[in-house]
Amino acid sequence: MDIAYKLFLTLHFIALAGLLGGLLAQIPNKPKKLQPFVLHSAWLILIVGIAMVGLNQGMHANDATVEVLDHVKIAIKSTVVAVILVLGYLNVKKAVLSTKIWGVMTVLAVTNIVIAVFI
């Protein structure tokens, strides 16, 4: 299960790169446009994150030395990704993505990274 967990973690990082990279790529663009792959990346982050929690629980059940994830942290991170998805779906069909919405989505993506690393 450890190999599966590490594969999912790698996929999680790739999805995070897609989300943040897709948002940061819009910095020089006037007007900004939300690319659909940003939303696909957010979905992938959420789905793979849920799978990783399940794998962690299974690994902990088989080996008590495996540290259980902090479920409050997981809930906060999942909520942040859900907010990114809601903002994204509300604006994906629009011809122009407002700078405020783009900024909020970018700050939320970075916040999710900070929560993962420091908390």
pLDDT tens per residue, range 38-68: 999 999 999 999 999 999 999 999 898 999 9
Averaged over 101-112, what is the pLDDT?
98
Angle at 46 between CA 117 and CA 67, to 5 degrees: 50
Question: Total domain count for the chain?
Answer: 1
Averaged over 66-79, what is the pLDDT?
95
CB atoms within 10 A of CB 45: 26
pLDDT grade for 94, boundaries at 50, 70 and 90: very high
Plot region of 70 (φ>0 → left; ψ -120 to 50 → alpha; else → beta) = beta
Three-state DSSP string of 26-80: CCCCCCECCCHHHHHHHHHHHHHHHHHHHHHHHHHHHCCCCCCCCHHHHHHHHHH
pLDDT digits (tens, 9 = 90+) for 6-41: 999 999 999 999 999 999 999 999 999 999 999 999
Q: Which residue has the tokens 């903002």?
A: 87
pLDDT computed for residue 99 by the predictor? 96
Averaged over 76-94, what is the pLDDT?
97
* Residue 22, SS3 per DSSP: helix
Write out the H or E segment, with its range, that includes residue 88: helix 71-91
Domain that holds residue 19: 2-118
